[in-house]
Amino acid sequence: MDTDPAVVGTTVIFGSRDDNIYALDIKTGGEVWRFPTGDQIVSSPAVAGDLVYIGSNDANLYALDIATGEEVWRFTTGRRVESSAGS
């Protein structure tokens, strides 16, 4: 993991070079959800309200539901997203 995670309650959310965004339970280390993207993630997630925002090298910025990991929307940039959504 090359990015800073986001911590929301008892959940830690981060992107990985294996093309996935993960949410793990802080207490157990168990996977809460996983969201696959089309390329590795080298940006840190940002959280606002019930959404987590994170960019991927697949040229998309994703907005995911914090509780379920389901995609709410995505914005295609046309280029890799390598900086954090909150930067």
**Domain holding 29: CATH number?**
2.40.10.480
Residue 37 placed within a domain:
yes
User: 31-36 and 46-48: which strand pairing?
Assistant: unpaired
Q: Is the pLDDT of residue 46 over 80?
A: yes
Q: What is the 3-state secondary structure (H, E, C) of 51-64?
A: EEEEECCCCEEEEE
Instruction: Tell me the average pLDDT across 75-86.
Output: 76
Residue 1 placed within a domain:
no
Q: Is the pLDDT of residue 17 over 60?
A: yes
Q: Is the pLDDT of residue 62 over 90?
A: yes
State the residue range of the domain holding 16: 6-75
Tokens 């990991």 identify what position?
69
Residue 44 placed within a domain:
yes
pLDDT tens, residue by residue, 49-58: 999 999 999 9
Q: Is the pLDDT of residue 29 over 60?
A: yes
Say what the pLDDT of residue 3 is: 78
Residue 83 placed within a domain:
no
Structural domain total, the chain: 1
Residue 50 placed within a domain:
yes
Q: Is the pLDDT of residue 87 over 50?
A: no
Rounded CA separation 55/37 (Å): 9
